[in-house]
Structure 1
Amino acid sequence: MDDVKQIVTDIKKGNIKPIYFLMGEEPYYIDAISEYIENNILAEEEKGFNQMVLYGRDVSVDDIIGNAKRYPMMAERQVVIVKEAQDLSRTIEKLSNYAENPQPTTVLVINYKYKKIDKRKALYKTIKKSGVVFESKKLYENQVSDWIRRVLSGQKYTISPKASQMLVEFLGTDLSKINNELEKLKIVLPEGTQISPEHIEENIGISKDYNNFELRKAIGERDTVKAFKIINYFADNPKDNPMVVTVSLLFNFFSQLLHFHGLHDKNPRNVASALKINPYFVNEYVSAARHFPMRKVSHVVATLREFDVKGKGVNSNAVPQGDLLKELLVRIFS
């Protein structure tokens, strides 16, 4: 995120590079930088003749170079944006010849999503000298809640830890999807609002009471009545609550709980750091550790591995996922 801000700041100051190679597993920031360049380098009246968008599936590297070598018409520079450039992965290294001596009046933007170029080869090294190579790395799940908080903070909103966790559990680590939902919330909520679980439920449709976050909490507290209520809701709404996601999240929780048992220093700050969780959730692990000693946690982890396989259709004899989840709860609480 800091690298993105620096690129935008440099462009605003007029420090514009001839090549921007945007690559990596997370498409959100690649799109954000590319769209900023597309919208801000040229004035509207200059774009007709001096800005073009190409697609990797439709062009060759030679076509890109040919367009990049053109001179701008009645403008200081031209902008050439290549989207889906990963479709040219077999020949992208040929761009290194152009990168050695890029056209100074061209801003060439390469969107190379879900992949990376080899940093040992010529293309990476030459672009690093003359332009910008930006790698957009996928965030780990435990980093996404902090990303949500920082994005909203910059837009004069806050969000409760539970609401943030609901978004992550429902949408995963896809920043584009999460950002789209945040944009919807900003339309209906005034600046200064703290986004709550109720806001998430009312505007996005994620239940604040029947979700994996609440299931995890109920299991940790050995609240069997609440846990089975949630599982029954999941059984009635299987499309919105796939078993594979539930088992995966529970597996992560009990794996972290096993780590918690092994910690010598159980100070909340140390626990949050060691488990890579928000300090807000530390008490859940303290409570769960009282109800699930280390030996029991090891047993639950093994059980979750077993049900992960069953949930994917192996040795389950077409048992409905709702029934498998109920059986899983019985095994966890036994």
Structure 2
Amino acid sequence: MIKSTKDFIQVLKNIDKNNLKPLYIVNSEQSYIIDQFVEKFKSMIPDDLKSFNQFIFYDHDSIAEDIISVANNYPLAGDLKIIIVKTADKMINKFELFQKFIDKSSNHCTILLCLNGKKIDKRKKKIIGSAILIEVQKIYNNQLSDWIIYIGKINNLNFNYEIVEIIKERTGVNLSKISNEIKKISLMNHDEFSEKELIYRFFGINNEYNIFELQKELGNKNYDKVFRISKYFSENSKKYPPQLIFASLHNYFLNLFQIKSNINLNYTEISNLTGIYQHFILDDFKKISNNFSLREIVNILGVIKTYDAKSKGLKKDKYYDSELLQFISEIKN
């Protein structure tokens, strides 16, 4: 099970052309992760042999029997054939056929089935027991930092905590979108601007009024600045919808709660708990957590939950944009 970029990198590294298995199954809701495995397998066939030994099928216009038939034929040139089946969710019901292929395989062909997060029950997993099954844990907002920093590094960009939070705020939990935006940023002029300035210019962000600044000033209990930022947000609610603000603050204070209530855990243990794998980010949270008692954090999470529900229309009373200031007053007290 892939739970972090560390797991992801190791699994990719373990796929060795000289020691390939007949069948790999990658299962992830994130098209970015699937694409990385697809590219890994594509790279195993030289360009001059791709037209002979590389086949790409799509679930909606393919049947398992045809795929197995192609797989059973020996390569026309070279010694390896790669078959990639994209959006292969329907192939789960044909696992018996693929297991028969594995049983008869002579190592001349490897099949990659790409599933889009489709749940595979225990019975199906048992049927296909000889395959290499690579499952990716669902990625939530509070686990994105790890992936943003990784994607930044492979594009020669080093992101600090502030930049990571801004990218999370602007892209959501979509690694393909994050990757595309970071690639565009990497093409901008690095000589003239710092990475922080590149991010602010690319996303058109106000340097003083943004959700990261709100989090930072709340963490430092600098309420004069918090009220100024909140007033700006309440006057520009289309650009800064309350649902986005409350979701971001909930994740922020939830991380503080998890770190504050497990202060004796080591880095590995707290990373597994929070989904944050960068020590410098964890150190920031540990430092900020000293500004609050556990009771304060629990109370703040409760207030966030109430206002978040109200902003989504889940409460009887209507939410007004000016209530963001009222929310800040409540958590201050």
Which TM class, normalised by the smaller chain length? Answer: 0.7 to 0.9
Q: Structure 1 CA distance, aligned partners of 2:271 and 2:115?
A: 35
Shift in Å, 1:83: 0.3
User: Post-superposition shift, 1:200?
Assistant: 0.9
Q: Determine if contact 1:57/1:88 at 8 Å carries over to the other structure.
A: no
1:1-334 matches, cutoff 5 A: 1-8=8-15, 10-11=16-17, 14-38=18-42, 40-102=43-105, 104-118=107-121, 121-127=125-131, 132-153=132-153, 156-190=156-190, 196-258=195-257, 262=261, 277-287=281-291, 289=292, 293-316=293-316, 318-320=318-320, 322-334=321-333
In the TM superposition, residue 304 of structure 1 has moved relative to its aligned partner by 1.6
Secondary structure of 1:54 counterpart = strand
Listed one character per residue, the Cα deviations across residues 261-304 of structure 1 (whole Å, up to 9, x for unaligned) are: 656769999999986552134333333x2xxx554443332222
> What amino acid is aligned across from residue 27 of structure 1 in structure 2?
S
Gaps of 5+ in 2: 1-7
How far residue 202 of structure 1 moved from its aligned partner, in angstroms, is 0.9
Shift of 1:188: 1.8
Report the Cα offset of residue 330 of structure 1: 3.1
- RCO higher in structure (CA 8 A, sep ≥6): 2
User: Any conservation in 2 of the 1:159–1:194 contact (CA below 8 Å)?
Assistant: no
Other structure's SS at 2:32 match:
helix
Q: CA deviation digits over 1:234-264, x for unaligned, max 9?
A: 3454454332232122223334444566567
Identity %: 27
Match of 2:5 in 1: none
Are the aligned partners of 2:256 and 2:285 in contact in 1 as well (CA < 8 Å)?
no
Which range moves more in the overlay, 89-98 or 25-34?
A: 89-98
Provide closer, same or farther for how the CA distance between residues 96 and 16 of structure 1 changes in structure 2, counting only shifts above 3 A: closer
Q: Deviations over 1:157-197 (max 9, x none)?
A: 42222112222333344322222222112212559x99633
CA separation of 1:302/1:55 partners in 2, compared to 1, >3 Å: closer, same or farther? same
Question: SS of the residue aligned with 1:188?
Answer: coil
Secondary structure of 2:300's match?
Answer: helix
Contact 1:61-1:94 at 8 Å conserved across structures: yes
**Cα offset for 1:215?**
1.1
Q: Could you say if the C-alpha distance between residues 196 and 188 of structure 1 is closer, same or farther in structure 2, counting changes exceeding 3 Å?
A: closer
| Equivalent residues of 2:89, 2:114 under 8 A apart | yes
In structure 1, stretches of 5+ residues that fail to align are none
Cα 1:146/1:126, change in 2 over 3 Å? closer
Letter in 1 for 2:145: S
Q: Secondary structure at 1:202's aligned position in 2?
A: helix
1: CA distance between counterparts of 2:211 and 2:63?
Answer: 47
TM-score (norm 2): 0.79
Query: Once superposed, what is the RMSD of the aligned Cα atoms?
Result: 3.5
The residue identity in structure 1 corresponding to 2:282 is N
Q: 1:190 to 1:224 in 2, by over 3 A?
A: closer
| TM-score (norm: length of structure 1) | 0.79
